[in-house]
Structure 1
Amino acid sequence: MENTLSAQQRVIVVGVDGSPSSVAALKLAMSLVPLAGDVVRAVAAWHHPVTLSVYTPQVWDYEEVMKKALAQALEEAFPAGTPPIVERRIVRGNPAQVLIKESADASMVVVGSRGHGGFTGLLLGSVSSAVAERAACPVLVSHGALKQAGGNAEASPVEATTRS
């Protein structure tokens, strides 16, 4: 989706990878709209993984996988339907770099502290750390924002930290 927002609109960018932490980040961003934004931009980034073996992995449609992950995350965050102020964006690229680029036109970036990084995330550093380090706007990393209450993940603004 192309950016059709006017220059006056404040955008809260949310990194979404389909993890429970990113669902919580979506909920948290929506709760911040009255304070920091007019639009919530849910951004899912994807890139082809690098392999270091002779074995060639099965070819996947990574963009389609991220479209489904984003749709599912929005459905989980907003069971009554995605609010009209939520914009979806799927971008090919390193997730941290994509979110840093998106931060240039944002009033805030919200990311979860734990996503689908796995062992590679440990080696290369986490997306939330990279974004907090280099974003062009304040970043809110929702540490421990997942509370399991009856199996539902909920964002807790009290347990979030910000960097500006």
Structure 2
Amino acid sequence: MDDSTQGIGLPIVVGVDGSPQSLLALKWAKKLAVPLGAGIKAVTTWHLEVTYGPYTASDWDAEAVAHQVLAQALLDAFGDGPPDGLTAECHRGQPAQVLMEQGKSAQLLILGSRGHGGFAGLLLGSVSSACVAHAKCPVLVVHASDDPDAAQGAAIQRSERRDVDEPAGGV
């Protein structure tokens, strides 16, 4: 594959956790899918921490909750008219690791700047920071003020995919 066709036909992967930023990420994916000739793959992750010691049994099903979060996010972002080429997947694992793995076969990874993780004062969440630094495909980080409906002709630039594990800025 030469540089001029790199990424064509590969999906846009969107990290979805139900946060307002992830809903904006889905809307950005819809806006960019046609110009990039891409489908959209919405990805939600779920992970259970292993704990030792006494615990209380629960009927809580993390995977079922992840599927519910993803379905609700797609409904909130697209209503009854999801875009053509939309697929949705739930994966077990740490969010950054799952999204970087999905990015290996994507032309673009779109993430919200902050999800439902820890310290809300951070400009970038830990998942988006890890993906920006280590993903094999270009990463678009969407902030709360980045409304795709207000954007006038978003510029699209294709960057090279990294084939080795190196920071985005090189070594």
TM range (shorter): 0.7 to 0.9
**Aligned 8 A contact 1:132 1:163 in 2:** no
Following superposition, the deviation at residue 17 of structure 1 comes to: 0.6
Query: What does residue 126 of structure 2 align with?
Result: 126
Following superposition, the deviation at residue 34 of structure 1 comes to: 2.2
Identity %: 47
Following superposition, the deviation at residue 141 of structure 1 comes to: 0.1
Query: What does residue 88 of structure 2 align with?
Result: 88
Query: What does residue 169 of structure 2 align with?
Result: none
**Aligned 8 A contact 1:25 1:155 in 2:** no
Change (3 A) 1:37 1:89: farther
Distance 2:113 2:57 in 1: 28
**TM-score computed with the length of structure 2 as normaliser:** 0.74
Query: What does residue 113 of structure 1 align with?
Result: 113
Aligned length: 149
Change (3 A) 1:130 1:155: farther
Structure 2 residue runs of 5 or longer lacking an equivalent are 1-6, 160-171
Structure 1 residue runs of 5 or longer lacking an equivalent are 1-6, 148-153
**Aligned 8 A contact 1:145 1:155 in 2:** no
Which structure's residues are more often helix, by fraction? Answer: 1
**Aligned 8 A contact 2:20 2:144 in 1:** no
**Aligned 8 A contact 1:41 1:88 in 2:** yes
Amino acid at match of 1:88: A
Which structure's residues are more often strand, by fraction? Answer: 1
**Aligned 8 A contact 1:36 1:108 in 2:** no
Question: 2:97 aligned with 1:102, yes or no?
Answer: no
Q: Deviations over 1:86-125 (max 9, x none)?
A: 10011000000000000101000000001110259x7xx6
Distance 1:47 1:22 in 2: 18
**TM-score computed with the length of structure 1 as normaliser:** 0.77
Greater C-alpha Rg: 2
